[in-house]
Amino acid sequence: MRLNQAVPNQQRRELLRESLCQEVWIRYSIETLMSVANTYTRTKMLTIQFGVLVLLIYAALFLDGTTAMSCYMGQELDPFSGRYRWVIPVKNPCHCKEVHVDSLNTRAPSRPFNVTYYDTFLRSSDPMEIGTFLNCTQTGTDPCLSNPCQNYGSCSSQPTLTGVMYSCHCLSSFFGPTCDIADPCLSNPCQNNGSCLLGTTGAGLTYWCVCPSDFFGPTCDISDPCLSSPCQNNGSCSSVRTETSVKYSCICPLYFFGATCNISELPASCGAYMESGRSHGSGYYTIQVGCAGNKQLTVYCDQHSNGGGWMRFYQKTGPSNCSGYNFTWTGELITCMGLDTDITGFAVSDDVTTVNTDNSWILRDSSGPSGSQPLTLPAAAVLAKLANCKTPTGVDWSQDYHDGYAKFRGALGTNGNWTRMYTGCYDNVDIGDQFTFHIGGGSSQTGEFINVGCNTYGNKYEPVSHNRLTSLWISDNVRAIWIMTKHLTTAEGNTP
């Protein structure tokens, strides 16, 4: 508290005793010692001088106050301005921890140190306020007296060229110049037994969570969705992390599909496996025909040639040897599956595992030179007979068979490197032209079941580099018939 008016006379008289106590006591002690000295002989002078010296040293120490002390501020005559001003009569006032108001001193003091005079007085027990009033920036009050260190931090001071500085020693969970910044890990932000790590950024302290293997997110609050076993029917679950969430995906076993492998209906064709993304390459597949009472059939599919989706319909594997499947084809099943109406490709190859060979040819449901010409096929009953290794008339193949044909017509295609097909000794058809071929026996053909070419072995005018389709029933060669249908994506038979 600072005041800029003089203390009233009555208060001055009351404070006189307290303000002059120190100086009067010292003067009295000195005069007493001097009086005693006059009664002693000169031989005792050394002892007296020693006592005076001790007293003066004690007084100097008392008035200097090298440690924090209580001080008094009174008025006395300023010899430089010639008027009464306020003064703290100690050697270093910046060591005062509190300042009280003293009385008026009318006698001229004699001190072994200089003092500073002020126009106002201060009554305070705040070290910071005292240091500011006395301008103690160089030697000033111990800054630790104001308890700057928070959260139970310990303070230590150190004099420097610019003043007395302090530093705080913080507890392990607090930081900052005054220990006012708490460790963010104190609040246990990491959930599900995650470990919290302290770090720093340009904005200050931060934390990171190290999560257990089954949890994710900034605070480990996102659980692995695979923990709930969402994939059914023995599907395998894998977690997919994004910046904001964790998703899962299911890898379904064969014949199951859907987001959680919960759909057990099987595709209805080789092409439907391709379209639904469930194809696993060429091989045997089980298809489910909804229109035939959800009948399940195991067939062989070529899923690589010409976009995939080819079903092997019939195969000849050697002399007089035909093999089909472990079920019997019927006209009703052919119609149910759309094999007589929804065929988009019909092919013959010399390999029972793939359509894609040089010695193969394809009829397609596509446009020829005369415009759009859809595939024309035999009746469903005839197709069923062929698929069951029978002749178009329903009897077993033999070298004597020559009664009937199954006619197929469409746009000629190829998987080989040839551009035209020889259909007789001198005639040829270009790729893309409409073409008709027969499956059956013919006159002068020994049980031949693919009736193309002028004779069994071609002729001398037909270059070997061109494709020839000569196949006797009794010959040692391989022929496979393939059918591609429209992609049926459900088990509802021929529903597109």
The CATH number of the domain holding residue 253 is 2.10.25.10
Residue 366: pLDDT above 70?
Answer: no
Range of the domain at 242: 224-262
pLDDT at 301: 95
122-162 pLDDT, tens digit each? 999 887 788 778 877 544 567 888 889 999 899 988 776 56
Give me the chain's average pLDDT, please: 76
pLDDT above 70 coverage of the chain, percent: 73
On whether both 432 and 303 belong to a single domain, the answer is yes
Residue 457: pLDDT above 50?
Answer: no
Instruction: With cut-offs at 50, 70 and 90, classify the pLDDT of residue 182.
Output: confident
Residue 105: pLDDT above 60?
Answer: yes
4 contact partners, CB below 8 Å, separation of at least 6: 119, 120
On whether both 321 and 470 belong to a single domain, the answer is yes
pLDDT at 134: 83
CB atoms within 10 A of CB 482: 27
219 vs 128: which has the higher pLDDT = 219
Assigned domain for 151 exists:
no
On whether both 348 and 436 belong to a single domain, the answer is yes
Are the CB atoms for 240 and 216 separated by under 8 Å? no
Are the CB atoms for 38 and 44 separated by under 8 Å? no
Residue spans of beta strands (DSSP E) within 170-241 = 174-175, 181-182, 195-201, 204-210, 215-216, 222-223, 236-241
Residue 173: pLDDT above 60?
Answer: yes
**Mean per-residue pLDDT, 381-403:** 88
221-237 pLDDT, tens digit each? 888 889 889 999 899 99
Instruction: With cut-offs at 50, 70 and 90, classify the pLDDT of residue 412.
Output: confident
C-alpha–C-alpha distance, residues 124 and 128, integer Å: 10
Residue 59: pLDDT above 80?
Answer: no
Assigned domain for 491 exists:
no
Given 88, 107, 141, the domain boundary residue is 141
Residue with tokens 């120490």: 61
**Mean per-residue pLDDT, 72-99:** 88
Residue 189: pLDDT above 70?
Answer: yes
Residue 194: pLDDT above 90?
Answer: yes
pLDDT at 298: 92
On whether both 306 and 283 belong to a single domain, the answer is yes
323-334 pLDDT, tens digit each? 888 899 999 998
Assigned domain for 280 exists:
yes
Residue spans of beta strands (DSSP E) within 125-203 = 154-160, 163-169, 174-175, 181-182, 195-201
On whether both 202 and 286 belong to a single domain, the answer is no
Listed residue (233, 226, 216) closest to 249, CA to CA: 226
Residue 405: pLDDT above 90?
Answer: no
Residue spans of beta strands (DSSP E) within 290-433 = 295-302, 310-318, 321-323, 343-349, 361-364, 366-368, 371-373, 405-414, 420-422, 428-430
pLDDT at 47: 46
Listed residue (94, 168, 167, 179) closest to 129, CA to CA: 94
**Mean per-residue pLDDT, 14-36:** 48
On whether both 133 and 84 belong to a single domain, the answer is yes
For 296, 433, 450, the CA distances from 459, given in Å and listed in that order, are 46, 23, 17
Residue 390: pLDDT above 60?
Answer: yes
On whether both 255 and 281 belong to a single domain, the answer is no
On whether both 27 and 82 belong to a single domain, the answer is yes
On whether both 361 and 401 belong to a single domain, the answer is yes
Across 58-62, 70-74, 86-90, 489-493, least confident range: 489-493
Assigned domain for 461 exists:
yes
Instruction: With cut-offs at 50, 70 and 90, classify the pLDDT of residue 38.
Output: low
67 vs 192: which has the higher pLDDT = 192
**Mean per-residue pLDDT, 100-125:** 87
Residue 175: pLDDT above 90?
Answer: no
CA-atom Rg of the chain in angstroms: 57
On whether both 457 and 344 belong to a single domain, the answer is yes
Assigned domain for 149 exists:
no
C-alpha–C-alpha distance, residues 15 and 36, integer Å: 32
CB atoms within 10 A of CB 103: 20
pLDDT at 252: 86
Are the CB atoms for 37 and 48 separated by under 8 Å? yes
Assigned domain for 153 exists:
no
pLDDT at 491: 34
**Mean per-residue pLDDT, 483-492:** 56
DSSP type of residue 183: -
Listed residue (337, 363, 176) closest to 272, CA to CA: 337
Q: How many CA atoms lie within 13 A of 265 on its CB side?
A: 16
Given 141, 167, 202, the domain boundary residue is 141
Listed residue (415, 428, 411) closest to 462, CA to CA: 428
Most confident range (mean pLDDT) of 49-53, 242-246, 382-386 is 382-386
Assigned domain for 164 exists:
no
On whether both 340 and 475 belong to a single domain, the answer is yes
Instruction: With cut-offs at 50, 70 and 90, classify the pLDDT of residue 372.
Output: low
86 vs 58: which has the higher pLDDT = 86
Given 109, 141, 173, the domain boundary residue is 141
**Mean per-residue pLDDT, 164-173:** 87
Assigned domain for 330 exists:
yes
Domain count, the chain: 4
Residue 302: pLDDT above 90?
Answer: yes
On whether both 234 and 210 belong to a single domain, the answer is no
